[in-house]
A and B are shown apart, each in its own frame.
Chain A
């Protein structure tokens, strides 16, 4: 236990990277996801095709494989990324696919009468999506997105394989140094749990804020 307490700053640093990767990937994943969902629903044939293939590939391959492809695979093409950058890119692309599916469902859940009402007042299709459909879809999407994000937080542990010193890898380094397993792994388990719970708490707050109507 002393080992854990002594090395708490080190573990906190790992936790910080876990959070950083999660938040960055969530941010870009959201943008990718919303754009992909709109491309899939309102885009021309080509855009629809691209977004469909993208989602299919990401959902059909293990995230670990996606991470090593971005980090090691791209080197073959002269693209060398730092581990942290590679981690964020891989996870953003990964989560974008899941977000887009959630959003697509949410957009489709909005009755067509909403678009029609907007169009009937002279709005363009684009204005109707932006002002009327998306705000409602976001509200529908928040609870499932919350689950996706908490899943993301846990998935960041995968990037330990490309030597990003996030929480899991920090623990592994300590284990290698002290040959003690349980206290170290248990304490990072607790840290993951606290972060997940914190996320869920914040998301519930956001959901409440958005459900004024």
Chain B
């Protein structure tokens, strides 16, 4: 479960997130959409502490980061939160000096201090799951963008996260490679994984997400089921946004 209360984020004087309060129950698939610069990535990054929050509270499965707590205390909760969340980045961010399998098991070895043989068997299972077991010894530079992103998903899954965060996982991919990544994410959704997905793929959001958070100017302007949002958006801004993206 993820909950934020009056979450705010400032970059110097620029208030990028304004008092965001949401409640995301387990097993829900949430798509975050909205215009560029509306704060979608920042919101996601505040959840796992890649950005320090400026105000409010983030609560992930009872692990609480309060902007008013001392830095030491916040850092401690942030690290526990990161071990319960997996993140997938737009640019994949695979470790280039490690093979696909080594990428997946790195955190198992270092963070969980697992035996190598145990980690490898988990890693192989995950690569199997994303359809890349035959690439386990390949370095990222030898993989296509779609394959790299699937390895990145396997890497995030390795720590058995309670929730997965995706920041535009297909935006850096050639169009013909988008499908294979979305398929993997869709399968995760069907298995009941909790997910927050920032995406520009409207059809995917509509199909896979239970719920849409529509952001604009650092606020959640609309919070609705995906059916409701796409059939009948309540706010003008959402209507405008949808008209625009559907034109393309």
Contacts and interface: CB of A to CB of B under 8 A. Distances in A.
Interface in B72-100: 79, 82-83, 85-87, 89, 91, 93-98
Contact of A122 (B93, B98, B107, B140): B107
A122 B63 CA distance: 14
A127 B87 CA distance: 18
A121 B89 contact: no
Interface in B94-129: 94-98, 106-107, 110-111
Contacts of B107: 121-123
A117 interface: yes
B159 to A, nearest CB: 6
Interface residues of B, number: 29
Nearest to A131: B110
A145 interface: no
Interface string A131-163: 110011001000000000000000000000000
Contacts of A132: 95, 106
A114 B89 CA distance: 11
Contact of B97 (A113, A116, A122, A139): A139
Interface of A: 111, 113-114, 116-124, 127, 131-132, 135-136, 139, 212-213
19 contacts: A113-B91, A114-B95, A116-B50, A117-B87, A117-B155, A120-B82, A121-B106, A121-B158, A122-B82, A122-B83, A123-B107, A127-B110, A132-B106, A136-B96, A139-B97, A212-B139, A213-B96, A213-B140, A213-B141
In the A-B complex, the 9 residue pairs with the smallest Cβ-Cβ separation, listed nearest first, are A121-B107, A122-B83, A117-B93, A213-B139, A113-B93, A120-B87, A122-B111, A122-B82, A135-B97
